[in-house]
A and B are shown apart, each in its own frame.
Chain A
Amino acid sequence: MLSFIARRVASGIVLVIAISVIAFALLYAGGGDIARRMLGEDASPETVAQKATELGLDQPLTQQFLTWASGLIRGDLGTSWFTSQPVSDAILSRLSVTLSLVFGAIVVVAFASVILGTLAATRRGWIDTAVQVLSLLATAIPAFLVALGLVLVFAVNLGWFKPTGYVQFTDSPAGWLSSITLPITALALGGIAGVTQQIRGSMIDSLRGDYVRTLRSRGLNAPSVLFQHVLRNAAGPGLAVLGVQFVGLIGGAVIIEQIFAIPGMGQVAVTATSQGDIPLVMGLVVVTAILVVILNLLVDLAQGWLNPKVRLS
């Protein structure tokens, strides 16, 4: 197991380095005249040149990358060109917001998918059909449309929730719930559809398995068969899908944070990328890549924890 973890960590490091190099090159390829964009249309060419020098943009590209990379090794991600904030501070303050949004969504996805998938697989009939249709709808409707609809109905018209912004849990638990409920709902719907289908399919397969017939013939009651054996076997594939969903949810959070004006990583990523705020974008790229590597590792470990057969394989 230790060698498995070591291999995954090593490949993760290689991945992060490769992504950093590619991201840096792409950012400069589409970067244009960043100093000009920072200063706007009124600035004189001399001021623009002065700003470019101040930012180190007059250095060769490789030199700029090496400067950035050496800072990264020392734990210094630089300073945002467009907010003057240290990149590490910007990311840390926003990472927690995005993770609470994504974790909240994943909890909702996990709960709802287990309940709906189990109901659909065991009851079948109209319940199964309803779950299938709803899943199809949830998959088909883009998250941003769901978000806009939710804001309009439940925040602007009914006033039940906050239409924009984010409140810390420590400042006001009620305010936190009010600010996060709609974004989590919008973010989770697509995930629920995907994971529910996976759990439903896996459970139906398991319920048809010989071991279920054997367990029933030994007199085990239905809930024990269902929850201790069938759901356990179905949980592995479900968890794998949930892991993929987690990564997808981080991407989905970009749009949701824009719509709800939530100060998370997604919001800052969109702004920083469109502005060409290279230090901030690079910081976001590195942190996100590390996050995904860690997440995949955790999913593998969780699968092994839930199902010993995976550990053997």
Chain B
Amino acid sequence: MFTFKKRIAALVSAMAITALALSGCAGAGPDSDESSAESTQGTGTLTIGTIVASTTFAANNAPWSNESPYLQAVYDTLLHAEPDGTVVPWLATDWSYNDDMTVLTLNLRDDVTFTDGTKFDASAAAQNLLRFRDGTSPQKGYLATLADAKAVDATTLELTLNSPNPSLLSFLTQNPGLQQSPATFDAADEKTNPVGSGPYILDTKATVVGSAYVFTKNPDYWAPESQHYAKVVMNVYTTPTAVLNALKGGQINGAPVSDSAMIAQLEPAGLTVQTQQLNFFGLLLFDRDGAIEPALADVRVRQAINYAFDRKALLESVGQGNGKVTSSIFSPDSSGYVKDLDDFYSYDPEKAEELLAEAGYAAGDITLKMPTSSGFAPATYALVKQYLSDVGINVEEVGVTPTSFLSDLLAAKYASTVMMLKTAPTSWETVTLDLLPSSGWNPFRVKDATVAELAATIQSGTEEEAEAAAKELNEYIVEQAWFAPWYRPDLNYATDAKTSVEPQSGNSYPYLWNFVPKQ
């Protein structure tokens, strides 16, 4: 018979043993002892922080941006993009268009093999492209004009388009260009066990899905010079504080820092922070034809709204001073960027009132119904209300749950809203995302003859004609006040003293091969 003391001791011991045993059964976590980048190229471990888990490794459904590091580790793309966005050869060594830019012919490498032993060839590439077009990737629209993809021979791939796509080469450097082994198409585990021809192989045993992804070097990689590390670990952090602690504690070599207020703590700790601007923040004025808010059909009202905001003050108060004020939605990386447009609308409430009066509206005549989401700081909405109220425009706020905010906006339920959208790296992408009647961010399907004409030139004109048209379109959209942007917020990426990296134009994460251990 146990004594009471022995029983207590036995109970506690059992609990402790169970805890130890259970901890031993857990999935693998990152070992920080290995997390530092070593100086010898191709031998160390790169550990980076990410802010989302991989939703899928199935190439046909894969997203990009925040998930690009996962996909770049295991898959090759047909083309590569330099940090400044310049398209360079990769699996495709060279390419050419026909005269009307509806047929793209690419010559492919003949020395590439997927990690399951399947040979990469033009047939595999064609299958991947068509499968992406028909899949459910958020960016599947990038290949919407792809009529057909066929292998002319083992190393010649021919893409036929319904209409020219000036951004196609750029798109082939991203998820549309991912090459998965056709032998694994529709495999039961293709979403979690990728088979590509990329520089690394996912170590599924060491990976804790949703938390830490471990990749080991592909020993048979055809381009070993781009394998700067022997092992790559990607840790998912769901809070900015965890990212900060991991960076300061030396557990990761690099990570995006979403909260600019944290930068002040990183630089004294020996970390380097690089910034780029990939989004614009401000008001979207959807209802340019006045379908549900008639006043917005008058360009003077839309211009008045633009003059009503003190962009510099908004950047300081809402954006904590980290960014660049602008009146345009075009990216500085795109051909349509016009620097002078950044300052096109000054803060001029008197002019705003004059424009409203010219349009026939007295103070209080216009009430804009705007959705509010917890995704943006409440102070932002208070400022919008204040600035517009100062020129005589009322704002009626409608609380919307974050889970339906996006859907409501895209379903044309509101004439205007506070929103952050990406500034696309190419002008054609800006056109297709935001400006055409078919664009997702033109939910009221507004048609405009000038926009259509300039868009056609951007799509089918020569490079010079397209660039001139893009600039003209940018100026037109700003003058017509289709939007009321305030500023382009800084996106920050921090790296430790052992790692150097170049930010990638148009992408929130540096591309994987841009990470190099410092010598």
Residues of A within 8 A of B (CB): 30-34, 36-45, 47, 50-51, 54, 80-85, 89-90, 93-94, 96-97, 99-100, 103-104, 106-107, 110-111, 148, 151, 155-156, 159, 162-172, 175-176, 179-180, 227-228, 231-232, 235, 258-261, 263, 267-268, 270-271, 276, 302, 305-306
Contacts and interface: CB of A to CB of B under 8 A. Distances in A.
Contacts of B55: 38, 81-84
B70 to A, nearest CB: 11
A80 B210 CA distance: 10
Contact of A94 (B20, B27, B30, B191): B27
Given A103-B22, A228-B3, A261-B237, A42 B246 contact: no
A42 B25 contact: no
B24 A41 contact: no
A71 to B, nearest CB: 16
A153 B417 CA distance: 43
Nearest to B252: A164
Q: Please classify how large the interface on chain B is, using the bins under 10, 10 to 19, 20 to 34, 35 or more.
A: 35 or more
Interface stretch (B79-87, B401-409, B507-515): B401-409
Given A33-B407, A176-B23, A270 B4 contact: no
B340 to A, nearest CB: 28
Which are the 7 A-B pairs with shortest beta-carbon distances? Answer: A32-B403, A263-B211, A84-B191, A163-B249, A32-B404, A103-B19, A33-B407
A39 B136 contact: yes
Interface string B227-240: 00000000111110
A36 B251 contact: no
B212 interface: yes
Contact of A259 (B136, B239, B403): B239
A229 to B, nearest CB: 9
A175 B138 contact: no
A270 B236 CA distance: 13
B29 interface: yes
A85 B32 contact: no
B289 to A, nearest CB: 20
A44 B7 contact: no
Nearest to A102: B19
Contacts of B236: 261
B16 A107 contact: yes
A179 B22 contact: no
B56 A84 contact: yes
Contacts of A175: 31-33
B433 interface: yes
A172 B29 CA distance: 11
Nearest to A270: B238
Chain B CB within 10 Å — which of A90, A97, A159 has the most?
Answer: A97
Contacts of B20: 100, 169
Nearest to B405: A32
A94 B28 CA distance: 10
Contacts of B63: 39-40
A308 to B, nearest CB: 11
Chain A CB within 10 Å — which of B19, B404, B410 has the most?
Answer: B19
B433 A99 contact: no
Interface of B: 3-5, 7-8, 11-12, 15-16, 18-20, 22-33, 53-58, 63, 136-141, 144, 191-192, 208-212, 235-239, 241-242, 245-246, 248-251, 401-407, 410, 421, 433, 440-441
Contact of B241 (A54, A89, A148, A176): A148
Given A84-B58, A305-B7, 9 more contacts: A33-B404, A34-B403, A83-B54, A84-B54, A97-B27, A163-B245, A167-B31, A231-B4, A261-B238
Contacts, number: 219
Given A43-B138, A169-B23, A259-B241, A36 B249 contact: no
24 contacts: A41-B406, A41-B440, A51-B136, A97-B27, A107-B19, A110-B15, A151-B245, A159-B249, A163-B245, A164-B245, A165-B32, A176-B23, A228-B3, A228-B4, A228-B5, A259-B239, A261-B211, A261-B235, A263-B26, A263-B27, A263-B29, A267-B211, A271-B210, A306-B4
A301 to B, nearest CB: 11
A227 B28 contact: no
A80 B63 CA distance: 16
B62 to A, nearest CB: 11
A268 B246 CA distance: 19
B4 A227 contact: yes
B28 A106 contact: no
Contacts of A170: 23-24
A82 B53 contact: yes
Contacts of B56: 84
Chain A CB within 10 Å — which of B25, B237, B251, B441 has the most?
Answer: B25
B141 A32 contact: no
A263 B8 CA distance: 31
B58 to A, nearest CB: 8
Given A103-B18, A169-B20, A40 B245 contact: no
B498 to A, nearest CB: 16
Contacts of B15: 103, 106-107, 110
A99 B246 CA distance: 23
A165 B29 contact: yes
A163 B12 contact: no
B239 to A, nearest CB: 6
Contact of B406 (A31, A33, A104, A180): A33
A10 to B, nearest CB: 26
A235 B11 CA distance: 13
B403 A276 contact: yes
A163 B210 CA distance: 19
B210 A83 contact: yes
A83 B57 CA distance: 9
B192 A84 contact: yes
A117 B267 CA distance: 47
A43 B63 CA distance: 10
